Structure formats: C-alpha cells, structure tokens
C-alpha cells in the first residue's frame, strides 16, 4: 500500500514531518538503497523522447533528481540551483544529470527552456521508475496538475548510479541534497570501483 502524504514537501519546515512520516510507516526500509541495481526502465525526455537508463549509464554515472512538477515553486528553485551549481560540475565529470517528474511530457517542455542548463528533463508518466525505487507517495491533489490522471509524486530524492548500474548514493531530503554532496559521490565513482555500502540518508 502506497503512503499518502498530505500537503507539500519541499521546504525547511517540512524536514521533521518527512522524517516522522518515514519512521512511522517504515518507508525508509522499503526504499532503494546503495548497492541496489538501477532499474532498467525508460523515462521520456521532453526533447529527445525515450531514454533507457541501462544504456545511458554505460557512458557515465547517472544522477537522478526527482521533483513533483513544473509548477512546484520549491522544486523549481532547487532545479535552478542545480542548473547553475551541479550541471556544469557533472558535465566535467562525464556524468548524466536527469530531472525526473511524473508530470506528462508536454507540461515539462517550458521548464527545460527556463532552466537553460545541460540537464535532461524527463517524464515518468506512469511512475514506473518511481515505483521501482519505492520513492513515491499518493497525493490526491496532484491529479489535475500532472496531466496523467494519476496521483503519485516522488519524495524529494537524489539517486546516483555508476556505470555498472549499481546505486551509490541515495539522499532523501526536504531541504534538497547539496550539489557538493552529489558531485563528491560522482568523483568517488570515477576514482575507483564500487565499495561495499554507500551514502544513504534522510534529513
């Protein structure tokens, strides 16, 4: 049974509520964790069409940033920060940055233009990837804005996988993962083989 979370998630004041929700429903134990495999499912890029993650990761580490939708102010603010601070660093490291939302593709097109960054903006309209990673929750208010007839949103999460498809970083944070944390995870990946475990946290 998927968790139902009322209201929005994405601000400093939400951090304690997110932690409480996770602890109460034992959500964290069911989520993707370091050492898991990146699911071999496609997402739809607003300009390029389907992107297959199992093929993309063969050319460089994959960084997935999950967000609600193009009209979410907290999500937009986080993506703008990543566009200026994270995207250039990951490009230098040969990693792929994907912003992933369950919103339908057409409603995300203007977002990519507004960000103006070297970032893939992608749709997971049937929340297949979100479900595979177990990072989704039900929000009845999302039905109208997503444009898919569905009500599943992702928690504010970042997932980093190496070229072998092994998840190396999972960070779920209402305050959003610092760009430096993500960049360091990718540098570690590029510097050597995967170690046992990894960084996994909720803040």
173 within a domain of the structure (yes/no):
yes
- Residue 2 domain-assigned (yes or no): no
CA distances from 171 to 20, 71, 82 (A): 16, 23, 15
Flag whether 149 is in a domain.
Answer: yes
Domains of the chain: total? 1
4 lies in some domain: no
Q: What local confidence, expressed as pLDDT, does residue 64 receive?
A: 98
Strands (E) in 107-166, as ranges, are: 120-123, 136-138, 152-154, 157-161
Flag whether 5 is in a domain.
no
Q: What's the confidence (pLDDT) of residue 6?
A: 41
Per-chain mean pLDDT for the chain: 85
pLDDT at 7: 44
Write out pLDDT tens, residues 139-185: 999 999 999 999 999 999 999 999 999 999 999 887 889 999 999 99
In CATH, what number is assigned to the domain containing residue 32?
A: 3.40.30.10
User: Contact 37/167 with Cβ under 8 angstroms?
Assistant: yes
Structure tokens at 72: 């979410």
Q: So what's the pLDDT on residue 182?
A: 96
Specify whether the CB–CB gap between 137 and 24 falls below 8 A. Answer: no
75 or 114, which is more confident? 75
């Amino acid at each position: 049974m998927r968790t139902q979370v009322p209201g929005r998630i994405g601000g400093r004041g939400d951090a304690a509520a997110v932690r409480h929700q996770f602890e109460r429903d034992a959500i964290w134990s069911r989520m993707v964790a370091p050492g898991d495999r990146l699911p071999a499912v496609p997402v739809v890029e607003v300009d390029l069409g389907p992107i297959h993650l199992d093929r993309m990761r063969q050319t460089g580490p994959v960084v997935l940033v999950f967000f609600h939708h193009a009209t979410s102010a907290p999500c937009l603010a986080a993506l703008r920060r990543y566009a200026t601070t994270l995207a250039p660093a990951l490009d230098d490291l040969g990693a792929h940055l994907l912003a992933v939302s369950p919103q339908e593709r057409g409603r995300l097109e203007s977002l990519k233009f507004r960000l103006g960054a070297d970032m893939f903006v992608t749709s997971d309209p049937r929340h297949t990837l979100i479900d595979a990673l177990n990072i989704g929750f039900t929000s009845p208010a999302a039905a109208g804005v997503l444009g898919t007839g569905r009500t599943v949103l992702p928690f504010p999460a970042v997932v980093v996988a190496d070229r072998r498809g092994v998840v190396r970083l999972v960070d779920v944070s209402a305050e959003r993962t610092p760009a430096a944390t993500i960049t360091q995870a990718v540098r570690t990946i590029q510097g050597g083989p995967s170690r046992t475990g990894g960084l996994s946290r909720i803040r």
